Amino acid sequence: MATTIGVLVALTSLLSVLLGALADGIGTDCSLKGFGSSLLCSSCDELKRFELSELRDECLKCCQKTGSNNEQKFSGAILEVCGCKLGRFPHIQGFVKGNAPSQFPSLKIKYMRGADPTLKLLDDNQAVVDTLSIDKWDSNTLEEFLKEKLQ
């Protein structure tokens, strides 16, 4: 019991130090704080559930409002995946090997050695705007996302 309390006190102290450092401007970049570029503001409310409400303010500074990017369309996308690892992701394999890519002329499949399934979204200049890990996506989710986001 005393050990558990000691660990909790140590973790609380560490969290306080980290929050203080963040408040002082150290690591002002959201990615340095551990927040991804696709973080939705609705996710910040979940921090309370895990007794991490101290992080909520920082989370809200780094998140995207649910409706803010919904209208954004991309001129193209690159799905990067390793051909030898494709069997580990049957949902992505079904998408890539099926006729789904022909539905999206602006989608390019790029086989990269060792790469987990990743979707890179491109602007009009073919520059990468956002990168999404899609290894947990099923083929229906991927197809629906591309229908919604590609021009």
Predicted confidence at residue 28, as pLDDT, reads: 52
Predicted confidence at residue 77, as pLDDT, reads: 96
What span, in angstroms and rounded, lies between the C-alpha atoms of 41 and 61?
A: 9
pLDDT tens readout for residues 93-111: 999 998 878 899 999 999 9
Predicted confidence at residue 58, as pLDDT, reads: 87
Tokens in use for 83?
Answer: 């051909």
Predicted confidence at residue 36, as pLDDT, reads: 76
What span, in angstroms and rounded, lies between the C-alpha atoms of 80 and 100?
A: 15
Mean pLDDT of 74-96: 93
Q: Is the pLDDT of residue 88 over 80?
A: yes
Q: Given the structure tokens 């050990």, which residue do they identify?
A: 3
Predicted confidence at residue 26, as pLDDT, reads: 38
Domains of the chain, first to last? 2-62 (no CATH), 76-149 (3.40.30.50)
